[in-house]
Chain A
Amino acid sequence: MKFVYSSHAQNETLDLERAGDDFEIEIGGERARVQVIAFAPPRLIFSYNGKIFDARVARAGKKHWVYIQGATFVFERAESRAARDAAPGAREGAGSGIVVAPMPGQVRGVLVEQGDAVTEGQPLVLMEAMKMELKVNAPHAGVVAKIFVTLGQSVEREQILAEVIKRGG
């Protein structure tokens, strides 16, 4: 079975097949035999090419957290391209006027209104989390097409805050 994970905007594909009690794995063009020694979540002990790894694993939604050899990773199960494009918060390159929350937190101020003309870098929304304030700015000059949040609202990271449309675009 194929697994596609993304982390830090990098996609990684691996193929995992049962082979008796073991697994056959292919990643980065290399094939190897993996033996699961113990699986008692969050602990996962396995051997890869004869070397034993002691990992801790946990899952929340699409996010897979792994601690292994002193490092912690979070991998997101990549969706199909079509599903991702349709998803809210999808950002399609630099031309997009969709402005998303850079961190989870509360909306402490909505600084513009729908229909306002804004300049590049102009603050749109004021956020606060863990006693820290952050201004979320317009990615480019244009007109505020829509504000998606209200004062006091709690937002998740990557949640859409506003949309700024380029003039004539």
Chain B
Amino acid sequence: MANLNKILIANRGEIAVRIMRACGEMNIATVAVYSDADRAALHTRVAAEAIHIGASPPRESYLNIEKIIDAAKKSNADAIHPGYGFLAENAEFAQAVNDAGIVFIGPSPFSIRAMGDKAEARARMIKSGVPVVPGFQDADDQESLARAAEQIGYPILIKAAAGGGGKAMRVVETKSGFPDALAAARREALNAFGDARVILERYVANARHIEFQILADKFGNTIHLFERECSIQRRHQKIIEETPSPLLDDELRERMGNAAVAAARAVNYENAGTIEFIVDPDTREFYFLEMNTRLQVEHPITELTTGLDLAQWQIRIARGERIERYGERLIQPRGHAIECRVYAEDPSNHFLPSTGRVLDLQLPNMPGVRADAGIATGDEASAFYDPLLVKLIAYAETRDAALAKMQNALREFSLLGVTTNVEFLQTVLAHPTLRQGKATTRFIEQELDAWTQAPHDERRTMGLIAAALAESLDKAPEGEASSVNDPYSPWRAQRAFRVGGELPAAL
């Protein structure tokens, strides 16, 4: 078995922190890399060492292969964990890491390339008996793409060829919108993945997005760890995921699970990966969408229902452990888990990104709730990177109980200083379509597009009172005479101060 004593995490935010914690629990030292904007970011504080790799734009830092490998050499790291996004699904990166004599925690460059190249992936899936969506990826010039779009038929989906995770994806409803959407998707793809190529797919409306977690070791043992339903999306970005899927029965679950294992085997897959399917809820037919050759954002829900630590298993597989004794027969998923993604975005401003300094962060603390955070109080949500701030994950015996727990967790979650989607998530969780387990990937655009914060809430009045009280107690505005200007006033004390006696016992 390979000895992995020190791992460099080529990522930032919550996933870098998550992986560093897994390393810590395995007595493995960690190295963070950071850009100018992340000089004091949480992941640099959690790691034992932190190395600066360049300017804030991703292309100059987190997407710079040479600088990351230099940092690994400089810090004597035995392995590199790529996280998700950035270089996680870049075969040249995996190859460069291997060539430098460093262990890449993930699949082989061959598997990444085979699944990253959509044409090749498609051919292999068909050969392995895995159904695929109609699409086009044979050429990348505008003329061929436009012609192919015409043949496949609108609405069409433009996706980054090198991408995944819903980034740089555009739906085009009509022919006239194609050139603009293509140009925008290319620029986004270049920035997110360092590769501007795109592919086309027929846009399957009212579909369900259901994926299967795969684990495969170096000895040919490939298992699946059941499904995650990720149909709740906005702008093709998942916001709520759950397992098990309310759509699947045991029969369909088994067929999809077998197809997922076959798909992974078709590219000699090793390490953790995810096979994404779209499912037509009416016909119950499923199609292979893509394989994400990395750890997923939503991996925690699988961890909660299977009891496995996937980040640790990635490392264990990379150092040569076998998974066979953790084979499917021994893994029986239990209960229901839900994840909500807290994004720095404003749902009442078309979900556009918001930025700013986190003035206060209170994470929920209750049985069955996990919070994976990439920021802490005092940290900055920068416009340079992904808007994901925190993942809240709830686990309970049943779906209803897990939903109730998640609602409770969101109520206790407080983030001041940056506008987030928390109240929107509450609205989604309370929506009858979600409660019935019938939400498709178009659910939000169809039913919640015009969402705004409830204006006449009683809580708003209490909020206003709190703001005025805090302002009065904190510091009177300049030029206004007030007793709080008295330097000896108890209102100026830095420590907690109570007026009116002790807290009532009920608190």
At the interface, yes or no: B74 with Cβ under 8 Å from chain A? no
B473 touches A39 (CB 8 A): yes
At the interface, yes or no: A64 with Cβ under 8 Å from chain B? yes
Which among B410, B453, B480 has the greatest number of chain A C-beta atoms within 10 A?
B453
B340 CB to closest chain A CB (Å) equals 14
At the interface, yes or no: A74 with Cβ under 8 Å from chain B? yes
B423 touches A72 (CB 8 A): yes
A103 CB to closest chain B CB (Å) equals 4
A60 touches B355 (CB 8 A): no
| Total contacting residues, chain A, CB less than 8 A | 67
At the interface, yes or no: B503 with Cβ under 8 Å from chain A? yes
From known contacts A59-B474, A102-B349, infer whether A66 and B500 are also in contact, taking CB-CB under 8 Å.
Answer: no
With the chains together, A8 CA to B455 CA distance in Å?
8
Q: Which residues of B contact A134 (CB under 8 A)?
A: 352
From A36, A70, A106, contact of B473 by CB (8 A): A36
With the chains together, A129 CA to B344 CA distance in Å?
11
Q: Is the interface of A mostly helix, strand, loop or mixed?
A: strand
B416 touches A42 (CB 8 A): yes
Q: Which residues of B contact A37 (CB under 8 A)?
A: 498-500, 503-504
User: Which residues of A from 103 to 146 have beta carbons under 8 Å from B?
Assistant: 103-106, 108, 128-134
From known contacts A48-B462, A68-B462, infer whether A40 and B355 are also in contact, taking CB-CB under 8 Å.
Answer: no
Q: Which residue of B lies closest to A42 (CB)?
A: B360
B467 touches A8 (CB 8 A): no
Q: Which residue of A lies closest to B185 (CB)?
A: A133
A55 touches B417 (CB 8 A): no
Q: Which residues of A contact B379 (CB under 8 A)?
A: none
A8 touches B353 (CB 8 A): no
Q: Which residue of B lies closest to A66 (CB)?
A: B463
A22 CB to closest chain B CB (Å) equals 7
From B353, B362, B464, B474, contact of A103 by CB (8 A): B353
B353 touches A132 (CB 8 A): yes
B470 touches A131 (CB 8 A): no
Q: Which of B253-261, B326-334, B382-390, B434-442 contacts A (4 or more CB under 8 A)?
A: B382-390
Q: Which residues of A contact B466 (CB under 8 A)?
A: 44, 46, 53, 55, 57, 66, 68
A70 CB to closest chain B CB (Å) equals 3
The contact string, 1 if C-beta is below 8 Å from chain A, for chain B 330-356, is 000000000000001110111011111
A65 touches B359 (CB 8 A): yes
Q: Which residues of A contact B417 (CB under 8 A)?
A: 58, 60, 65
Q: Which of B142-150, B186-194, B274-282 contacts A (4 or more CB under 8 A)?
A: B186-194
Q: Which residues of B contact A41 (CB under 8 A)?
A: 470, 474
Q: Which residue of A lies closest to B348 (CB)?
A: A8
A72 touches B415 (CB 8 A): yes
B360 touches A8 (CB 8 A): no
At the interface, yes or no: B465 with Cβ under 8 Å from chain A? yes
Q: Which of A9-17, A86-94, A160-168 contacts B (4 or more CB under 8 A)?
A: A9-17
B348 CB to closest chain A CB (Å) equals 7
A46 touches B416 (CB 8 A): no
From A60, A73, A108, A133, contact of B356 by CB (8 A): A60
Q: Which residues of A contact B500 (CB under 8 A)?
A: 21-22, 35-37
Q: Which residue of B lies closest to A105 (CB)?
A: B383
From known contacts A131-B192, A157-B354, infer whether A3 and B468 are also in contact, taking CB-CB under 8 Å.
Answer: yes
With the chains together, A39 CA to B474 CA distance in Å?
9
B416 touches A71 (CB 8 A): no
From known contacts A5-B464, A104-B354, infer whether A56 and B362 are also in contact, taking CB-CB under 8 Å.
Answer: yes
B415 CB to closest chain A CB (Å) equals 7
At the interface, yes or no: B325 with Cβ under 8 Å from chain A? no
From B362, B472, B497, contact of A1 by CB (8 A): B472
The contact string, 1 if C-beta is below 8 Å from chain B, for chain A 44-87, is 11101000111111111000111111111111010000000000
Residues of chain A at the chain B interface (Cβ within 8 Å): 1, 3, 5, 7-8, 10, 12, 14, 16, 18, 21-23, 25, 27-28, 34-46, 48, 52-60, 64-75, 77, 102-106, 108, 128-134, 154, 157
Residues of chain B at the chain A interface (Cβ within 8 Å): 167-168, 184, 187-188, 191-192, 235, 344-346, 348-350, 352-357, 359-360, 362, 383-387, 410-412, 414-417, 419-420, 422-423, 426, 452-453, 455, 457, 459-474, 480, 482-483, 491, 495-500, 503-504, 506-507
Q: What are 13 contact pairs spanning A and B, CB under 8 A?
A: A3-B471, A16-B469, A22-B499, A23-B469, A37-B503, A60-B359, A66-B467, A69-B462, A71-B460, A71-B463, A75-B467, A128-B187, A133-B188
